Homo-oligomer: A and B are copies of this chain.
């Protein structure tokens, strides 16, 4: 956008531009090495003229004087600032007692150490059933580690997932020896290294505890600078990724964005839109004019042999937001029933009771969930109705698709419920 503008990037970490979303898989050994998760090495950053300050700690932002205070560097002036401080796990408010064996899954370097530690572990506790839990539990199963998932809710399901969609995943976990426990951690025990986790449901032997709480905006710098935060704790931005402070933009997991369908502000906690926001914020900070639209958040995540996914609202989240809906679900298959590799897939669709427009979807299946989530995201934005989906055409080709597309079947179920 502006090739002559200088750009400095500050990070508190030792690396930039890697894929943290691959970390849980590296730990399940599906992905042999973490090295290939890096998009840009330090050398490549330098070659592209990106001035990266690694291990840098920003102490404060002064939005009045357009300056940052950087530890060890002093006061630095900016013309435009983009805040991309990301997320952190919601604080479970527990004293970890300096024990070895308690981990968060976030920093690629730390999880590489963790990988080695995992080889010594026989039993693990995952503290809360957040989004990362879906991936981590299947990695632990694959490593042969006896796992307990401890969650305070009786549904033991991440907020974004409806319990019926979670059911086959829970069953697969239980079949693999995972214990689902309703309760909370009261203390971590051990001598130097974790040996057991005390909970409201009893003591659990464990050499490993993983903090799997929900993600929240890492907003401390912005808050201290007096930049407006929303109800969810995310930085408030406008359609051009501008914050309340002049010449300060923000993007990614630290912001709060407008949800499509409801217009309700929502935490921006997903790689999918962080990437699009980053591009919009960067372009606009450099003098461009890119609008970022309300989001529908197609998402999907594999967990063992299952993939769970969806877009916009599920029954749980629609109910919590006070959104009226009519829903319907269908069990389908991904290839002809006789073709090798055929997998089950359940699709649930939610529609507005008056306009019949699609307002959300939830899915669980063995393949093809990501593509359907993307599809339904575009469909919601385009105002597609359940009738449109109930009469949609679909490919039939035995090796790659079933006679009846599961989205089509689910739409027919919704029709019966209007």
Contact = CB atoms under 8 A, between A and B. Distances in A.
Copies of this chain present in the complex amount to: 2
Contacts of A374: 375, 392-395, 401, 405, 407
A202 interface: no
Interface in A20-41: 21-22, 25, 30-31, 36-37
A397 interface: yes
Contacts of A272: 393-396
Contacts of A144: none
Interface residues of A, number: 61
Interface in A286-342: 293, 295-302, 307, 309, 336-340
Interface in A254-300: 270-273, 275-276, 293, 295-300
A339 B22 contact: yes
A155 to B, nearest CB: 23
B37 A338 contact: yes
Contact of A400 (B336, B369, B379): B369
Count chain B CB atoms within 10 A of each CB in A19, A31, A396 and give the residue with the most. Answer: A396
A393 B301 contact: no
A377 B301 CA distance: 25
Contacts of A270: 396
Nearest to A310: B395
A21 B398 contact: yes
